[in-house]
Structure 1
Amino acid sequence: MRRLTQIIDDLIEREGAYVDHADDKGGPTMYGITEKVARLHKFDGPMSHMPKTLAVAIYKDQYWTAPNFDRVAMLSQKVAEELLDTGVNMGIAWAGKFLQRSLNALNSQGTHYSDLVVDGVIGNGTLGALKDYLDRRQHEGERVLLKALNCLQGARYIEIAEARERNESFVFGWFSHRVGL
């Protein structure tokens, strides 16, 4: 639990406090939490006054436990942290799809484990494939998987900017703070 607290603190530091950027479709955010998400969690005040404790609770419940990143952490803390960061920044379904696509591409034509359905939901099948992959490939496999996840994340940022020019306002920062190799 102490590690998760540090991960979320680091995430909040990357996200910053109150932001209301004109080019952001999500509107005002506080600690990276959009107004829409805050309202779903019963916060009804000005976003600039949303307490950090609420952001932490939302990250734990909605972005860590609900998508099963906590279960991924039992197999690889680093992969779980990457999924959390991606999930917060572009949606948990994208993080799950990136993991599934990467595992499919790394399964040696289905000889190590069966291909996964790429639906973004991290369930027992995805967790089993991840365990098989990491058991077989060990530390080097984890490193390669993290590269694959970051490559997909980076490619998605380019797609987002291509689809909506105003998103170009964020691409440099996304690559600078979100994509690591």
Structure 2
Amino acid sequence: MIDELIEAVIDREGGFVHHPADRGGATRFGITEAVARANGYAGDMRHFTRPAAQSIYRRAYWLNPGFDRVAERSPRVAAELFDTGVNMGPAVATAFLQRALNALNRGGSDYPDIVLDGRIGPQTLAALDRFLATRGVRAPTVLVKAIEALQGERYLTLAEQRPANEAFLYGWLANRLG
């Protein structure tokens, strides 16, 4: 599953980009220069390799945040977390999941609220398990919609707070939601 998700992100992100309005600076295959440097790459981003990008995506955006453990329960939710995490950071994606789970627990009657710490841990996984078991076959679809709603709101806020981000808003909404 993760191999297909990584390839889809790389295909969507494309090759080398250095947009003047992008605070991320130079990117290749969607990996920013800062992320590449943090993962040991010291060269020119124009020469950053696809295998290096694949490795970073697998480790930093799938395994380290625990999205692989979410995939054991719901591949669809995990795929959304991965894509959101690539664009906004894994902790933000996880916090969206946690907020959605808290809002969908019917006032704590299905499972207790969880701490919004941006980490996949035992409480988050237990809440996800209960949500999926309680709400049935449509649960993953509803949860993904809630995560995407939070993601869309964040994109709009980013564009409102920094007009230079308006250059990216259309693409974020067109390519990252639904």
User: Structure 1 length normalisation: TM-score?
Assistant: 0.97
Aligned residues between the structures: 178
CA distance in 2, matches of 1:158, 1:55: 28
Task: Find 1:120's aligned residue among 110, 118, 121.
Answer: 118
Paired AA for residue 19 in structure 1: V
Q: Distance in 1 between matches of 2:57 and 2:8?
A: 12
> How far apart are the structure 1 equivalents of 2:76 and 2:113?
23
State the Cα RMSD in Å: 0.7
Deviation at 1:17, TM superposition (A): 1.1
Provide the C-alpha distance between the structure 2 equivalents of 1:152 and 1:179, rounded to a whole number of angstroms. Answer: 10
CA distance in 2, matches of 1:139, 1:32: 33
Q: Distance in 1 between matches of 2:80 and 2:86?
A: 10
Structure 1, unmatched stretches of 5+, are none
The 1-side partners of 2:137 and 2:28 are apart by 36
| 1:66 corresponds to | 64
Deviation (angstroms), 1:136: 1.1
In structure 1, the partner of 2:165 is 167
Output the TM-score relative to the length of structure 2.
0.98
1:44 CA displacement = 1.2
1:97 corresponds, among 95, 98, 118, to: 95
Question: Per the alignment, in what secondary structure is the counterpart of residue 107 of structure 1?
Answer: coil
Query: How big is each residue's C-alpha offset from its partner over 1:27-82, in whole Å with a ceiling of 9 and x where there is no partner?
Result: 00000000011111111111011000000000000000000000000000010010
Q: Which of 48, 53, 56 does residue 55 from structure 1 map onto?
A: 53
Q: Cα offset for 1:134?
A: 0.4
Q: Where has structure 1 moved over 2 Å in runs of 4 or more?
A: none
How big is each residue's C-alpha offset from its partner over 1:86-107, in whole Å with a ceiling of 9 and x where there is no partner?
A: 1110111110110000000100
